[in-house]
Structure 1
């Protein structure tokens, strides 16, 4: 199984938003941070907005931010939003021309395997990937102050016994 570039860019874009929670993020900043084309990223941002993962703000000072806390965004849901429309194999597509159509028993196993893949990602949240991840923050933080606030927050969280 191989994920599309759009899914990869979607997760990276959400990570940038999560690392910079107090900020409206601009497409150009994200493109630079994740080494992506702004044109390709525009399509991804549009789909993230339509899927309810981010809120967008138009205009001169526009951009986007997470629509809800990172801890409430499931990686499985993000992957489904970007991958579900693409058939995993020919027999999953509407224009299936496979000569084995109707007699092959493999498709039911593949359906179950693909769903298991997504189900294993459902409990993983964006927050798990980004919270207190200093290496990620060093790469994706758009301002030094964001990194300082986050580092202080993580130090505080680690000092409090669970």
Structure 2
């Protein structure tokens, strides 16, 4: 199994924005910090904006910021929204399925069960879990946010959630 590049980039953008709450960031700065091209990033940012994960403002004084608290962003939900457009296997495609084994296949239910377990595991993780107290992540993002206040990811994790 392999995640799509779009899902990977979406999570990078969300982690970057969550580490620097409240501040608008230029897409070019996020792309630099996440080691991706601006063009690839610009395929993901509008989707994240449309889905309500980020606020994206165009123009000279525009930028990107997280639209909600990191605790409210389920990693499983993000993955589902970005991965759902692509069927896991041909037999998951419904009307497009041309596999002759579908009616008697025992692998298909096992794959459904495995995929459900995969998403269930990701449902237990939220964006805050990925960034709180993550000083390594903060160091990676430092060069693009030098003027920002101490990133949230560098703060100690909160105990009472």
User: Is the pair's TM-score, using the shorter chain for normalization, greater than 0.5?
Assistant: yes
Shift of 1:147: 5.8
Shift of 1:148: 3.5
8 Å CA contact 2:18–2:152 kept in 1: the answer is no
Match of 2:146 in 1: 144
Gaps of 5+ in 2: none
Match of 1:23 in 2: 23
Match of 1:42 in 2: 42
Match of 1:8 in 2: 8
Shift of 1:106: 1.9
Could you list the structure 1 runs, at least 4 aligned residues long, displaced by more than 4 angstroms after superposition.
Answer: 149-153
| CA RMSD in angstroms, aligned pairs only | 2.3
Alpha-carbon separation, structure 2, partners of 1:80 and 1:16: 20
Alpha-carbon separation, structure 1, partners of 2:132 and 2:67: 17
Match of 2:107 in 1: 106
Gaps of 5+ in 1: none
8 Å CA contact 2:132–2:154 kept in 1: the answer is no
Alpha-carbon separation, structure 1, partners of 2:63 and 2:138: 20
8 Å CA contact 1:137–1:147 kept in 2: the answer is no
Match of 1:83 in 2: 83
Shift of 1:152: 7.9
- TM-score, normalization: structure 2? 0.88
- TM-score, normalization: structure 1? 0.88
